[in-house]
Structure 1
Amino acid sequence: MTEFGLFELETVVVGQPKRSRWRSYKGPSLTVSTVEGTLLAQVTHTDDTRFLLTGTSGELITEIARHAGFAQFGSVRFRFTDPADREVGTAVARGLVKTRQLSVQTERGRRLFLTRLGHLSDEWRLTETDPEQSPAPEVLGRVTVSSVDAWLGLQRYLLEMAPGLDAGERRTVVASTVCLHLLRRPPGDSASPA
């Protein structure tokens, strides 16, 4: 399977790779794999504003650029671009609890919402309408977080996407899940996740 085939899968895992407690870690920030553990892609960062989703052979799949607003009160915007620097999606987090909801726009302009069920919930639901405005929106996917290593606080995100999402929409959902992690655990931050 080519790395670009990862956007054809309905279920993938985005997670922090396991690492030694005693040595400094120099690998990717996150990996994208199948549920069985086959590596499909990885996320690296050059600074706190630019993150690269690359295939296993190193080719760029998607770049994620982060733009933060004024202090904790401003919004955080993410822009997704392909290797030709064309925008292929965006995600915006607003409010004091920025991990509550991401407003997502796909390459074709479809608007989606990735919403956490509650402040302490480990699940986000992907819907086409805002759950606060529509009491029972159709669920197009789920992102469930779990801990890989409680001592180090490593996180794992299981993405389950509806069969009706196309490859471009799935790319946006995978990139948005990376954004969720960045909002919860910024690079170099050892604090507990939000």
Structure 2
Amino acid sequence: MTEPGLFELEAVVVGQPERSRWRRYVGPALAVSTVEGTLLAQVTHTDDTHSLLAKASGECIVRIKRRSRFGQFGPVWFHFTDSADSEVGTAVARGVVKTLRLTLQTEQGRQLLLTRWGHLSAEWLLTETDPRRSPAPEILGRVTVSSGDAWLGLQRYVVETNPRLNAFERRTVVASVVCLHLLRRPPGDSAAPA
């Protein structure tokens, strides 16, 4: 198994680490920590299509590969692989606003949806069925985004999951939150979040 406790936790924070306002930042793109702030893992981008979720020691937990057709107009696929290059999950973003819904598939083949109600909503719901079509879907988790620094606009995602999700499903959810951040703020892009 990967980092002890990382995917057993019901709540983690995925966020952009603090950085100096006066010099170029060269650290990890994102940090995964407990709600109390204990660092569990870091995310680095090797280029615009490859990201690595790794322990602080550098040991690979999940590799994320981004693939798309037709540039920004077509669907975007994310493939998650482990250190042995075995696929351990996927996420797909479709539509004009790619950050409204991600369709996830876990290593065991379970399909999940990470959906937000509107473009300005700061919360995504994790469900098995479409919350817009199902009157009362079971909520398996929530992802809430906020700004950790108003001046720099650093993003912070609190990921809360149902105790019934297993470690493999939580791994897919955490990796998909990295994908949400990539869709909202691609590496090297200083544009406002979507």
Q: TM-score range by the shorter chain?
A: over 0.9
Provide the aligned C-alpha RMSD in A: 0.9
Aligned-pair distance for 1:164? 0.2
Aligned-pair distance for 1:119? 1.3
Alpha-carbon distance in 2 for matches of 1:119, 1:190? 19
**What are the equivalent positions in structure 2 for 1:155-174 lying under 5 Å apart?**
155-174=155-174
Aligned-pair distance for 1:153? 1.1
Q: Which residue of 1 aligns with 2:43?
A: 43
Give the secondary structure class of the aligned counterpart of 2:46. strand
Q: Which residue of 1 aligns with 2:24?
A: 24
Q: Which residue of 1 aligns with 2:123?
A: 123
**Unaligned 5+ residue runs, structure 2?**
none
Count of aligned residue pairs for this structure pair = 193
Alpha-carbon distance in 2 for matches of 1:133, 1:117? 12
Alpha-carbon distance in 2 for matches of 1:69, 1:93? 12
**Unaligned 5+ residue runs, structure 1?**
none
Give, as a single letter, the amino acid of the residue that structure 1 aligns with 2:177.
T
Alpha-carbon distance in 1 for matches of 2:82, 2:65? 11
Match status 1:146 vs 2:146:
yes
Give, as a single letter, the amino acid of the residue that structure 1 aligns with 2:159.
L
**What are the equivalent positions in structure 2 for 1:45-194 lying under 5 Å apart?**
45-194=45-194
Aligned-pair distance for 1:123? 0.2
Q: Which residue of 2 aligns with 1:6?
A: 6
TM-score, normalization by structure 2: 0.97
Aligned-pair distance for 1:117? 2.1
Give, as a single letter, the amino acid of the residue that structure 2 aligns with 1:92.
V
Aligned-pair distance for 1:94? 0.3
TM-score, normalization by structure 1: 0.97
Alpha-carbon distance in 1 for matches of 2:88, 2:54? 15
Aligned-residue identity in percent = 75
Alpha-carbon distance in 2 for matches of 1:4, 1:71? 38
Q: Deviations over 1:107-164 (max 9, x none)?
A: 0000000001221110000001112331221000000000011111110000000000
Which consecutive segments of 4 or more residues in structure 1 shift more than 6 A?
none
